[in-house]
Amino acid sequence: METLFSGLILLDKPAGVTSCKALFPIRKIFHTRRVGHAGSLDLRASGLIVAAVGRATRLLSFVESGEKSYTFNAHFGYSTDTDEWDGELISQDPQEAPISAEEIQKVLPQFRGEIDQVPPDFSAVKIQGKRASDLALKGRSFELKSRKIFIRNLSLVGRASAPQNISGRIRSSFEFSCDCSKGTYIRSLVRDIARALGTCGVVSGIRRTRIGSLSVADAVLPSSLDENSLCTPQSLLPFPVVKLTPSELEFIRNGNSIAWNTPVAFSDGAPNVVLAEDESGTLQSACSYANGKLYAKFFLGSDN
């Protein structure tokens, strides 16, 4: 039986909990397995995950494509197999002199804009159908290809403290903030910044604070989830909303386009998506707008 619920939830995933486990209370509260999310976070990372219930899961591709914002701590002086602070030690920089903020500022420009990035070995990237992380755990040798990413902003925030259970000797620790495209790995970013500085490095404290226009400040912890945590897509997503009559909705439901002479304004950088609701304010369809017509992308309302 299809769930009666449909909508989005802004979830603040704690560090040390898998994305799947953080989503589990949603399935229990709304009595459905039809739960999805936009963008997993590493086990050690915390922050915003956008979850969807019911037919709203169809909107997740638009959410996932949005720009992401992170804060994180970089620790320079050693490297590990996981690129995290407590992984198995791979190399230790013989130098002990601290790395200065001035040295870091000099290399940061090369990591802004479109760059090539190789994902970390411990990642979900597939190699002949197998996760890279699974192959790494088995000691298999493999090589990941670089991919294009875009970093709009990368800023040095200030000094950071060393975390507990570090695997090596730290030369310097700094906090950073970053606004980047989908597919960016913060662990790889720290690894590459360290190489540009002539050393090696690891990351800790990764926290995702934003996806598109959605902020972790508006999110709830898994322990605080209830039915009131479910939000309408219209209230969260930066897409224009139009009201359609029953006859217009019938056209939309059958996959047809309808004439729409009222101008539709889209937010800068947002996908060409229009949310169509019925006269009672219930979301019924996601559409695109072009040449004075609304074209149905997919139907979101109840079959009834």
Catalytic residues: 42
How, if at all, do strands 283-290 and 257-259 pair? unpaired
Cβ atoms of 84 and 245 within 8 Å: the answer is no
Integer Cα distance of 206 and 209 in angstroms:
10
Question: What are the CA-CA distances from residue 78 to residues 166, 174, 196, 225 (Å)?
Answer: 10, 14, 14, 39
Report the candidate in 178, 168, 156, 155 with the shortest Cα–Cα distance to residue 201. Answer: 168
Q: Indicate the Cα dihedral angle 43, 44, 50, 52, nearest 10°.
A: 20
Cβ burial of 167 (10 Å; 0-12, 13-18, 19+) is buried
> Could you tell me how many residues make up the chain?
304
Integer Cα distance of 285 and 298 in angstroms:
6
Structure tokens at 13: 């995933």
Q: E strands, the chain, where?
A: 7-13, 35-38, 46-53, 68-76, 78-80, 89-92, 113-117, 126-127, 130-131, 147-159, 172-180, 201-211, 214-215, 241-243, 257-259, 274-277, 283-290, 293-299
> DSSP letter at 279?
T
108 SS3 class: helix
Question: What are the CA-CA distances from residue 189 to residues 67, 241, 251 (Å)?
Answer: 16, 38, 48
